[in-house]
Amino acid sequence: MATKLTELLNIKYPILQGGMAWISDAGLASAVSNAGGAGIISTGGRTTEYTREEIRRCRELTDCPFGVNVMLMAPNKEEIVEVICEEKPAFVTLGAGNPVPYFEKFHEAGIKVIPVVPNVKLAKRVEEKGADAMVVEGMEAGGHIGVLTTMALMTQVIPEVKDIPVIMAGGFADGRGLAAALLMGAAGIQMGTRFLVAEECPVHANMKQKLLEAIDTDTIVTGRTIGGAVRGIKNKFSEDFVALEYSGKADKKTLLDMATGTNKLAAVDGDTENGMMQAGQSLLPLKKIEPVQDIIESMMHEAREALANAGKLSL
C-alpha cells in the first residue's frame, strides 16, 4: 500500500507505532518495522546510555527503517538529541515542546523530522519550517492529549497542509480506522494502544490484562485543569486524582507530585491500582495478546476490505 508516508520512510505499510514512555523499546519497535510498519523507540524518562543501547539493539533486530521519539519536556533532551544524531535512526518524532529549533540539527545528521502537533496553527508552522511529515494527534489518544478530536483535526488540518505527509493519531486500532484516515487524505496513521497487547510489547502483564478486560467507556482524563491532560484507564489512582483535581483542595504542584512516577509504576512495575495506565479510547479491538505481525496483517486486510467497499456506495 503506497502513500506519501511509505515513500518517505521506505516502509511497506502506512503505520507508525507510537513512542510510549517506559514501553516502546527496541524489541517492540523492531517487530513493528519487520512487520512492514515503522517502529519507534521512546526516550521519555530514559538516559542517554539507554537511548544509544536501544538504537543499536534495534539495528541488530531489523534491517528496516525505525525511529526515535524525543519528549521535549525532558530535562536531558539536549543530550538525547546528540545521541540520536550520532546514531542516525531513519527518523525522529518530537512532542511535548517546541520542535522547530531541532529541525536543522537532525537534518544535518540525515534524520527525517516528524513533529507531533495538536492543531492547524502548529501544523502550518512546522510545515513552513521544514518538517518532513507530521503526526496530528486527537484527544482520543492515550497519554498526553490536546483538546480537539481526531475527526475534527482530519477535517481541518489535512486541507491546510499542502506539501508533506500528514499522519493521523488518536483512536486508531483497526483497519477500518486506517481506511477512514486514508480516505480523508491522510498518508497514514500512528497507533499506540493496540500495540500494548502485542506479544513483543514489554508493558507489564498486569496492565495487558486490564487492557483486555476494558470496555469502551473505561478511559479517564487526568490533569485537564492544570494544563497537562493525560488519558488512561480508570483505576484507583486516576479516579482519586480527578476527585482531588476538581475538589479545589489541591494546587498544581500537589497534583503534579501526585502524578510523578505513576506511568512507570503501571507499565513497568505492574501496579494497576496506583499507577497511571496510559491508553487511548479505542479499547474493544484489544481482544487478545498476539504477535505484532498478526496485528498489522489483520489491520491491512481490514483496511483493504473497507477501501474496496467504499467504492460500492450508492451516491
CB 53 within 8 A of CB 83: no
pLDDT at position 67, please?
98
pTM score? 0.95
- Is the Cα dihedral 28, 30, 32, 34 positive or negative? negative
pLDDT at position 235, please?
98
Dihedral (Cα; 113, 114, 117, 123), 10-degree rounding: 70
pLDDT at position 112, please?
98
pLDDT at position 96, please?
85
Taking each helix axis from N to C end, the angle separating 252-259 and 236-245, rounded to the nearest 10 degrees, works out to 180
pLDDT at position 54, please?
98
DSSP 303: H
Pairing of strands 230-233, 219-222: antiparallel
210: cell is 486490564
* Ranges of residues in the chain whose predicted pLDDT is under 70: 315
pLDDT at position 312, please?
84
∠191-121-225 over CA atoms, to 5°? 70
The backbone torsions φ and ψ at residue 231, rounded to the nearest 5 degrees and listed phi first, read: -100, 135
Please, what are the domains in the chain? 4-201+288-307 (3.20.20.70), 205-267 (no CATH)
Q: How far apart are CA 50 and CA 46, in angstroms?
A: 6
Q: How far apart are CA 24 and CA 44, in angstroms?
A: 10
pLDDT at position 135, please?
98
The backbone torsions φ and ψ at residue 17, rounded to the nearest 5 degrees and listed phi first, read: -95, 130
